Chain A
Amino acid sequence: MKIKKDKFKDALASIAKEAKVFLPMKGVYASEYRVWDGAGEPFFERNTALPPKELLFPRSERMYEYDLNAGTVTEAAPDEKIVIAGIRPCDVRSVEHLDKVFLESEYTDVYYRARRENLTMIAYGCATPAPTCFCDSMDVVPTDAPGADVVMNDAGNSYVLTVNTPKGEHIRDLISSFLSEGKADDVPAVSCSLKVEKPDDLHKQLIARFDDPMWETLSDACLGCGCCSYICPTCYCFDIGRENRGKTGTAFRCWDSCMFSDYSRMAGGHNPRPTKKERLRNRYLHKLAYFPERYGTSLCVGCGRCIDKCPARLDITNVPDIIQGSESNG
């Protein structure tokens, strides 16, 4: 199935009749997945600076209202239908990881579930990985996204569409008048230029080196700004707070970062991760060791955002590199 590029916006308009459509677009400060207003141009040259996680896990999200006068709590129930058109395969994978945490672990997160059930993902196969991209080292195929509902790939003057799920079939039906038959030419394989070699037991080796001086060296330049967690599509730590108006108010949750010094500080002052060394180690190990231990897969999808945007030029791929280096050095 194909759609002519000049029909793409018409197709989006059909989808926009029943769902809020988000597109990768250039913003004032950074590219991001933004609500499509019916006219804006998609930005497909490279992946967005900001990840799509906000659409499932808003940076600040109402959880419930409380009223101490009435003795009640009222749960928020997000119910907006969202279609992301043009989400990259690495970001699709990040959603699969978030699903593991919020849907498939011991407890289901009802807010995430509501948003996730209402989300349709149309992936955009990557033709031009950025120099910081290394998703194909993290088991993502740049041109394919099995976790998406529809996958589209650039084929000159049209996009080739592959439907993966019932939600994808629904999208196909909505835009059927713009589709033409035709078998796609094979999508040319794409390879990231940044390669990360990692041993199969990377998580074990990392845990064995918990007390290694490398964490000190790696974290030396870190400013503790938390940027890496905010722009990471898979970082999902949150804080819970409240906006209080006397006896009533709203409890909300908001993104947090384990790179902040007061993240794990306890009432009374004790902090189990007192310096940036412990905090960076925790972030990297969560991605590359703890998540694999708990959920069976690495939490880094290789989008490269944290490498691109870290003001201190820290690079998560140095971690497997060090391990690999020490392995080959014997």
Chain B
Amino acid sequence: MVEIDHGCKCPGNPLLPQICKVIKITEETPDVKTFRIQTLDGKKPFTPLPGQLAMISVLNVGEAMFSLTAQGDDWIESSIKRVGFLTEALHNLFEGDLVGVRGPYGNHFPTEELKGRDILFVGGGIGLAPVRSFIRHAIAHRKDYGELDVLYGSRSYGDLVFKEDIFDHWPKACNTHITIDIEEDGWDGHVGFVPSYLEEKAFSPEGKAVVLCGPPIMITFCLISLAKMGFSKENVITTLEMRMKCGVGKCGRCNIGSKYVCLDGPVFTMAELEDLPDEQ
């Protein structure tokens, strides 16, 4: 059983953003860009734990909560899909432009608790973004973990995010299984939806934990598949999304029952989610 511990506190005014600079923008897919962010004096804004969130703002437009997908010595990175007003404004930024950043918020993936275990990372579409922080952590601490599998799928080749990672870097340290929904010219990899690929691969639940993130419909079917394969709810971990404003459990926006996703989440085991009111 995986226990998920709670997020850390940031000192000072938790609602006040730091002004930071976008130092690199990577176009992942037609509607996903990755933003690498650094403080104005060239430092890392803060050190998030894998799975934690940050409130990112275009100061004269608005702010929203995003997962942090990676970090280096002097930067943090977030991959953002264009879905609305603010994300549109983010997508219109250029390298060198300023953003506001506050965080890190929420709990994190159980990196300690899963030491010594096999981990199966399952992602769909942009859902690989939060999972990537844990995959990178696991690869950086490779000997702490058992077998690592990454199963990732998207609509088309063009919609696969982090191509360098999934095709070049990660295969050196884990087993990667990449799939796209519909056949297309030039793709000789697997074709099919993530849940069916999961069943095809017939992963053994023995000693294995699953980290699962993606669109709700994919999660629903993956859960059915994982249950069939014998994975228990305690060993399936996911992240939730809710609308957020404050990030610190005050504005009331992101509650599910008495839990705040910004504070008690975003990482939950399926067993924990089952105990919450069905309002996601």
Q: Which residues of B contact A111 (CB under 8 A)?
A: 15
Rounded to whole angstroms, the CA-CA distance of A288 and B16 in the bound complex is 31
Q: Is A265 an interface residue (CB 8 A)?
A: yes
Name A75's contact: one of B7, B16, B100, B256 (CB within 8 Å): B16
Asked if B60 is at the interface of the complex by the 8 Å CB criterion, the answer is yes
Specify the chain B residue showing the minimal Cβ separation from A69.
B98
Contact A107 B9 (CB under 8 A): yes
B277 near A210 with CB under 8 A, answer: yes
Q: Is the interface of A mostly helix, strand, loop or mixed?
A: mixed
Known: A267-B64, A278-B279. A106 touches B249 (CB 8 A): yes
Q: Which of B248, B253, B277, B280 contacts A207 (CB 8 A)?
A: B277
Q: A66-B59, A242-B60, A266-B241 are in contact. Are A282 and B16 (CB under 8 A)?
A: no
Taking the complex as formed, is A187 at the interface, i.e. its CB lies under 8 A from any CB of chain B?
A: no
Q: Which residue of B lies closest to A210 (CB)?
A: B277
Closest to A293 in B: B258
Query: Chain A residues with Cβ under 8 A from B83's Cβ?
Result: 267-268
On whether A282 and B250 interact (CB within 8 A), knowing A240-B245, A242-B60, A272-B279, the answer reads no
Mask of B216-248 contacts with A, CB within 8 angstroms, 1/0: 000000000000000000000000011101101
- For A239, the chain B residues whose CB sits under 8 A away are 245, 251
Whether the pair A73, B250 counts as a contact (CB closer than 8 A) is: no
Q: Is the CB of A68 within 8 A of B59?
A: yes
Provide the residues of chain B in CB contact with A272, threshold 8 Å.
242, 256, 279-280
Which residues on the A side are within 8 Å of B9 (C-beta)? 106-107
Q: Flag if B248 contacts A264 (CB, 8 Å).
A: no
- Hey, which chain B residues are within 8 Å of A84, CB to CB? none
* Contact residues of B between 41 and 88, Cβ < 8 Å to A: 59-64, 83-87
Total B residues in contact with A, Cβ cutoff 8 Å: 47
Kindly state the separation between the CA atoms of A274 and B87 in the bound complex, as whole angstroms: 23
B19 neighbours in A (Cβ, 8 Å): 66, 71-73
Q: How far is the CA of A265 from the CA of B16 in the complex (A)?
A: 24
B17 sits at the interface (CB 8 A)? yes
Q: Which of A106, A211, A256, A258 has the most CB of B within 10 A?
A: A106
Interface residues of B in 86-112 (CB under 8 A from A): 86-87, 98, 100
Stretch at the interface among A14-22, A137-145, A169-177, A243-251: A243-251
Among A233-273, those with CB < 8 Å from B are 236-242, 244, 246-249, 251, 253, 256, 258, 263-268, 272-273
B267 beta carbon closer than 8 Å to chain A: no
Q: Is the CB of A155 closer than 8 A to any CB of chain B?
A: no
Give me the interface of B with A, judged by CB distance under 8 Å: 6-7, 9-10, 12-19, 40, 59-64, 83-87, 98, 100, 241-243, 245-246, 248-258, 263, 277-280
New A-B contacts (5) at CB < 8 Å, excluding given A75-B13, A236-B252, A290-B255: A63-B16, A64-B16, A64-B17, A73-B16, A109-B248
A-B contact list, 8 entries, CB within 8 Å: A73-B59, A75-B16, A107-B248, A210-B277, A238-B251, A264-B254, A266-B241, A293-B258
A residues apposed to B, CB below 8 Å? 63-64, 66, 68, 71-73, 75, 101-102, 105-111, 207, 210-211, 236-242, 244, 246-249, 251, 253, 256, 258, 263-268, 272-273, 278, 282, 285-286, 289-291, 293-294
